A and B are shown apart, each in its own frame.
Chain A
């Protein structure tokens, strides 16, 4: 007697047979038939043709049959909307049933039927169920509001369901509270601007109380909701943390991770001197470790999150290295993640153990894992100086195994070790050279070539070795070709007498026979350099190399902070901000540290990790010198190597050579302007007329640090507002935004009782103070008012983005108008990005987020442009001259924390500028461009 019998079919045709059975008089037969229909549904068969027959079975007092019919309805109602209406009456009736189970079932199922017509009928029953005496019905109804909102949001708002839902947060039953929170969170997510979850200390208190009593799933909803709250000071943060910590001992790992998220976020507000801070750190370690004893799928998600946590706060897990040791039967995705964390936690204290483990892993079966383990040994050497020697000898042992991929991987990392500790381990070169023939991967070949070139003077047959590579020059990958070119030039500079021929050969191969512009350009540069001034060439090519970074694959700090706010979500698994997944997501940020008694952080409390002290990264990817020396090839920097090559190529064009000669060696990391091409930017230089005008326009309010202010325009004509005319503009000075208004009374009566309100808007602009009109406005009188604004209002995405809807009230009426505000009033004063960060961010933002614009007919030169833009908080980070064009690299930051990076190309002869904008939220680009236009042309 099993259900598998429902799968058997007859010859006559299944649907026909089922139809007959569904219409049978016998209850039992009917039920069996519906079960057969459901069975077909479970394997994806289309049984929608039976819709009317199944719906006919709905009116029954048999609960099981009812449930089965409901199951069917949910699946097929969408494809049969007219038929679905037939079911409405039964639903409405069931919503009144004395049995709460049936009431809940009906309202729940009705919400699942995604047919517009049904929604009208749903409202009344839903309203009743939201106020039902039985909490089971209320909690089901709460979720139903979210379902209805998904189908018809307007309806939900019009019917006032959202307010009812908000009231349910104060319900006496914790399960109802949890579901209300879940429903509100879901609605808020699809409607980011709404201020649905208006969290305040009182509501937070209610949530914390419900947290202790509701089910595990409810706890997750509540914790995720808590994480969005911004405590007002460190005391409140601490008290919330104290009430959340017991969740760390929950058996459900999702509860644990959500609790970790809340704690990691609020910890940011606590002073490191607090005893509680230390206690909290200690409490966080055990639950994280416990997650690793769960099922492998859970482990994987946990490890991805731990990876973020150890980057942010390495002190939490610094003593727990061993739990990340790999077991041979861990799934590969777990192994790779564990390895990553092991390296992050490696320190002088535990390096011996780590190294022993890594060596063990290097003999495992899985190739990907072995490679990563070998690489990890190299990273340990670079990170922990004391271990370098041991690491090198381990690597040499591994090379002796002659396992091809192990050898290649080892050579790649040894090259980095040479870079980090010059003149220390060169004795191993001989061993490396023995393996030259077995290298078939470009990265390993390039690394080997770099080593030979770098130590050419110590390798007797360096010329022979390099020559052997030269034979198949055109078959090599670009990486190897570039490397070979540089290595041979190095060799020539070191042993000029014997290698003249070789260098000629490689230069002609690179410049004449190659289609690759990177290679050609680099060849020409070397050629010119060598032919004009060999001494300078020596200084440049053999210049001392900058150090390489200790930590690799670090997540950029701003992104890391954002990701910490998303612990436990998909974003944390992919290490990408959710804006990369879901549109219209508001960026979250860690709360600032608002300590009531600010004190100096004690040195021992400061973490030694990446967040605290930046590693000494020198070679930036766009760095010209670094590129010439081929530093881009090997050092473990973030970002794909191909992009690096392309960036470098731009530098090499035109101006690059001048810089090379003018700037000389050693000045890496700075964009030395080529002499003669541009005048040095003089901050104190007299302002040109363009800037002068700007000050005229701003009139009395304009100060040196103020942004451009457009002249006032009429926003609300008198005829539309019963005689009140409003004109105005927006301005920004020293960090504060204001709306400068002129109110004119063109009516015949006196106006008074002015008030102003903004609708929700894209950037949360809101009046920071009430509209102050001191005396009543007599007819034909006008008054100028500067209304301070802030950006902490509620947010809703508008179209166009910079649209602001305003309501002004006076004693006569309320008037509405909308206006567009220039985006540059939102550019904040600290929008200057670190150069390193700029480069990293520029590469990090995908190319599809780049937008290009033309700014036509602008006759300013680069410096004037720079200073003009700076006045509006667009900061020039670097300026370069490439083939006679000036390239300005600029950054700006919006009040909501969105960074925009810009490249502005100015050709002296051409009045059109090209503006390329890159931003994680590309929808703002167009408005940024408008701001550029406005600023530059006024």
Chain B
């Protein structure tokens, strides 16, 4: 094509994330960052409108369209991260990125809160600038960011103010461009350790009669690797066939997994999530507790009965502990007069949430909570039956049966200390009544 013919009949397009606003629960915009030109705060009015309509903060739709922009938001740790988008862009891309921003704040400041962000506003700004260039994510790996911008520590701020040095790294992060961008070079530890936590969460819906409507296990292996140099690890399982739906950290060599069912990788330094997986086949998901319940409201008496017992099912001899039950009672409930055989309960008459902190279940004496429910006088009998939300923990057990076989290390000479821990927890575990 001859270029002399080429005219430029296009309108400027601004891609990806244009601006970011951080908004707290009372609707104050406490931070704004613009990667292109400045967008007025008033664009957030559309967000506030949607927020008002949603009533509950959790119900604000994540994608909102306004006349000139799209607002894509996430809600994390009582903060709305609202990004302003001007053209077609993959919303998942934006949402993933926003979560990554929140993760980074968490990582840097120990918590992702308004106070933490305000206290470290300059670092926050430097981070945001480092993470996104012209809408293209630049460095989102915590390892690399920490080499570019050092996280705040009390010691460092004291040292900085004395010596005048800064918290900005002045050399190019080593991992940034290598084929293993997640690991920095020159890592050194005196004690070389590698820990793996196999954490499984059971998501389940149990119906009135106690049968399982839906159950699956969401598992993750979180790792804490403190190994010197460039260790090349391979982790194998006793029963890898359990893992047929897995998401991997980029460090894992997919081909090895496909052919040998072994996780082979050069790990990032520090804490990271190695894999996450899902086990859904019904017979593999054991339900560790059962709930007997009797919740009823009587017509015309402004009262009802509440009687719930929690018991353990066979759990390979492990104890179910940390049991907490929460129930969103119907609006008409005024108060609850209950007595618990174990643990303590609270009922918040404003939010109508009943919380029963049970603790450990001993099969000999099953915990029970029962008593009277007081309804608003004159109000009609509630139609809906509350669902019971159960939390629990079982130590030293991966409920799917997943077991790590061995961990081998190549590439380095020292003998690392290795450890594997298993834990099973309730995820979204709901019992309908």
How distant is the Cα of A68 from the Cα of B385 in the complex, in angstroms? 57
Of A143-151, A477-485, A708-716, the one contacting chain B is A143-151
A251 touching B121 by the CB < 8 A rule? no
Interface residue from B6, B70, B85, B280 paired with A157 (Cβ < 8 Å): B6
A332 and B59 contact, Cβ closer than 8 Å, known pairs A217-B137, A295-B95, A794-B1: yes
B62 touching A250 by the CB < 8 A rule? no
For the complex, is B189 an interface residue (Cβ under 8 Å from A)?
Answer: no
Q: Which of chain B's residues have a CB closer than 8 A to the CB of A497?
A: none
For the complex, is A81 an interface residue (Cβ under 8 Å from B)?
Answer: no
A403 and B383 contact, Cβ closer than 8 Å, known pairs A42-B31, A327-B205: yes
B136 touching A150 by the CB < 8 A rule? no
How distant is the Cα of A136 from the Cα of B123 in the complex, in angstroms? 22
Q: What residue in chain B is nearest A66 (Cβ atoms)?
A: B168
Q: Which of chain B's residues have a CB closer than 8 A to the CB of A569?
A: 88-91
B53-72 interface with A by 8 A CB criterion:
54, 56, 58-59, 61-63, 65, 70
For the complex, is A166 an interface residue (Cβ under 8 Å from B)?
Answer: no
Within the complex, what minimum Cβ distance (angstroms) separates A426 from chain B? 28
For the complex, is A378 an interface residue (Cβ under 8 Å from B)?
Answer: no
A325 touching B213 by the CB < 8 A rule? yes
Interface residue from A2, A298, A353, A807 paired with B119 (Cβ < 8 Å): A2
Q: Which of chain A's residues have a CB closer than 8 A to the CB of B122?
A: 3, 6, 35, 38-39, 68
B384 touching A186 by the CB < 8 A rule? no
How distant is the Cα of A333 from the Cα of B13 in the complex, in angstroms? 30
Within the complex, what minimum Cβ distance (angstroms) separates A105 from chain B? 10
A250 touching B247 by the CB < 8 A rule? yes
For the complex, is B298 an interface residue (Cβ under 8 Å from A)?
Answer: no
Q: What residue in chain A is nearest B62 (Cβ atoms)?
A: A297
Q: What residue in chain A is nearest B3 (Cβ atoms)?
A: A157
For the complex, is A759 an interface residue (Cβ under 8 Å from B)?
Answer: yes
A249 touching B164 by the CB < 8 A rule? no
A327 touching B59 by the CB < 8 A rule? no
Q: Which of chain B's residues have a CB closer than 8 A to the CB of A101?
A: 170-172
Of A580-588, A589-597, A598-606, A877-885, the one contacting chain B is A580-588
B63 touching A301 by the CB < 8 A rule? yes
B8 touching A136 by the CB < 8 A rule? no
Q: Which of chain A's residues have a CB closer than 8 A to the CB of B169?
A: 63
A191 touching B10 by the CB < 8 A rule? yes
Q: Which of chain B's residues have a CB closer than 8 A to the CB of A325?
A: 205, 213-214
Of A86-94, A108-116, A488-496, the one contacting chain B is A108-116
Question: Could you count the A-B residue pairs with CB atoms below 8 Å apart for me: how many are there?
Answer: 290
Q: Which of chain B's residues have a CB closer than 8 A to the CB of A329?
A: 389, 428, 430
How distant is the Cα of A799 from the Cα of B229 in the complex, in angstroms? 62
Q: Which of chain A's residues have a CB closer than 8 A to the CB of B38?
A: 75
Within the complex, what minimum Cβ distance (angstroms) separates B160 from chain A? 9
For the complex, is A126 an interface residue (Cβ under 8 Å from B)?
Answer: no
How distant is the Cα of A7 from the Cα of B121 in the complex, in angstroms? 10
Q: How large, as a class, is the contact surface on chain B?
A: 35 or more
How distant is the Cα of A297 from the Cα of B80 in the complex, in angstroms? 12
Bitwise interface map of B from 28 to 68 toward A, beta carbon under 8 Å scored 1, else 0 = 01111111111001000000000000101011011101000
For the complex, is A684 an interface residue (Cβ under 8 Å from B)?
Answer: no
Q: Which of chain B's residues have a CB closer than 8 A to the CB of A64?
A: 126, 166-168
Interface residue from B73, B85, B121, B176 paired with A297 (Cβ < 8 Å): B73
Within the complex, what minimum Cβ distance (angstroms) separates B121 from chain A? 5
A63 and B170 contact, Cβ closer than 8 Å, known pairs A150-B13, A582-B88: yes
For the complex, is A175 an interface residue (Cβ under 8 Å from B)?
Answer: yes
How distant is the Cα of A63 from the Cα of B120 in the complex, in angstroms? 18
Within the complex, what minimum Cβ distance (angstroms) separates A227 from chain B? 11
Q: What residue in chain B is nearest A253 (Cβ atoms)?
A: B92
How distant is the Cα of A355 from the Cα of B8 in the complex, in angstroms? 57
Bitwise interface map of A from 277 to 303 toward B, beta carbon under 8 Å scored 1, else 0 = 000000000110110010111101110
For the complex, is B125 an interface residue (Cβ under 8 Å from A)?
Answer: yes
A134 touching B32 by the CB < 8 A rule? no
How distant is the Cα of A71 from the Cα of B120 in the complex, in angstroms? 16
Q: At the interface, is chain A mostly helix, strand, loop or mixed?
A: helix
B134 touching A146 by the CB < 8 A rule? yes
For the complex, is B118 an interface residue (Cβ under 8 Å from A)?
Answer: yes
Within the complex, what minimum Cβ distance (angstroms) separates A385 from chain B? 25
For the complex, is B106 an interface residue (Cβ under 8 Å from A)?
Answer: no
How distant is the Cα of A74 from the Cα of B331 in the complex, in angstroms? 52
For the complex, is A239 an interface residue (Cβ under 8 Å from B)?
Answer: no
For the complex, is A683 an interface residue (Cβ under 8 Å from B)?
Answer: no
Q: Which of chain A's residues have a CB closer than 8 A to the CB of B96?
A: 252-254, 298
Bitwise interface map of A from 565 to 585 toward B, beta carbon under 8 Å scored 1, else 0 = 000111101100010011111
For the complex, is A4 an interface residue (Cβ under 8 Å from B)?
Answer: yes
A301 touching B95 by the CB < 8 A rule? yes
A3 touching B63 by the CB < 8 A rule? no
Q: Which of chain B's residues have a CB closer than 8 A to the CB of A195?
A: 1
A759 touching B32 by the CB < 8 A rule? no
Interface residue from A136, A356, A363, A797 paired with B177 (Cβ < 8 Å): A136
Interface residue from A144, A215, A360 paired with B432 (Cβ < 8 Å): A360
How distant is the Cα of A903 from the Cα of B18 in the complex, in angstroms? 43
For the complex, is A27 an interface residue (Cβ under 8 Å from B)?
Answer: yes
Of B248-256, B355-363, B367-375, B411-419, the one contacting chain A is B248-256
Within the complex, what minimum Cβ distance (angstroms) separates B378 from chain A? 17
How distant is the Cα of A349 from the Cα of B35 in the complex, in angstroms? 52
For the complex, is B396 an interface residue (Cβ under 8 Å from A)?
Answer: no
B276-316 interface with A by 8 A CB criterion:
276, 278, 280
B2 touching A759 by the CB < 8 A rule? yes
Q: Which of chain A's residues have a CB closer than 8 A to the CB of B61?
A: 300, 333
Q: Which of chain B's residues have a CB closer than 8 A to the CB of A799?
A: 9
A327 touching B91 by the CB < 8 A rule? no
Q: Which of chain A's residues have a CB closer than 8 A to the CB of B41?
A: 44
Bitwise interface map of B from 10 to 35 toward A, beta carbon under 8 Å scored 1, else 0 = 11111100000000000001111111
How distant is the Cα of A403 from the Cα of B330 in the complex, in angstroms? 15
B244-274 interface with A by 8 A CB criterion:
244-250, 254, 258, 273
Q: Which of chain A's residues have a CB closer than 8 A to the CB of B248?
A: 249-251
For the complex, is A539 an interface residue (Cβ under 8 Å from B)?
Answer: no
B225-255 interface with A by 8 A CB criterion:
244-250, 254
Q: Which of chain B's residues have a CB closer than 8 A to the CB of A4?
A: 118-119, 121
How distant is the Cα of A71 from the Cα of B125 in the complex, in angstroms? 8
B332-389 interface with A by 8 A CB criterion:
383-385, 387, 389
A327 touching B428 by the CB < 8 A rule? yes
Interface residue from B123, B170, B179 paired with A213 (Cβ < 8 Å): B179
B13 touching A363 by the CB < 8 A rule? no
For the complex, is A28 an interface residue (Cβ under 8 Å from B)?
Answer: yes
Q: Which of chain B's residues have a CB closer than 8 A to the CB of A157?
A: 3, 6
How distant is the Cα of A44 from the Cα of B123 in the complex, in angstroms? 17
A143 touching B88 by the CB < 8 A rule? no
Q: What residue in chain A is nearest B57 (Cβ atoms)?
A: A331
Interface residue from A63, A114, A253, A574 paired with B37 (Cβ < 8 Å): A114
A401 touching B92 by the CB < 8 A rule? no
B10 touching A153 by the CB < 8 A rule? yes
A62 touching B166 by the CB < 8 A rule? yes
Q: What residue in chain B is nearest A108 (Cβ atoms)?
A: B133
B198-242 interface with A by 8 A CB criterion:
203, 205, 207, 213-214, 216, 218
A323 and B280 contact, Cβ closer than 8 Å, known pairs A68-B122, A290-B247, A584-B10: yes
Please list 26 pairs of residues, one from A and one from B, whose beta carbons are closer than 8 Å in the complex, sorted by A's number: A1-B158, A3-B123, A7-B121, A41-B125, A67-B168, A99-B171, A101-B172, A136-B176, A140-B133, A150-B14, A153-B8, A250-B250, A258-B90, A290-B245, A295-B99, A296-B58, A297-B95, A300-B61, A323-B216, A323-B280, A325-B205, A356-B207, A569-B91, A570-B63, A570-B85, A757-B2
What 10 pairs between A and B have smallest CB-CB spacing?
A64-B166, A2-B119, A286-B245, A297-B62, A64-B168, A254-B92, A217-B137, A190-B13, A254-B93, A759-B5
Known pairs A6-B121, A583-B11 / 18 extra A-B pairs, C-beta < 8 Å: A2-B118, A4-B118, A64-B167, A65-B166, A68-B122, A114-B36, A215-B137, A253-B92, A253-B96, A254-B95, A300-B63, A327-B205, A327-B430, A332-B59, A363-B385, A568-B91, A570-B88, A796-B9
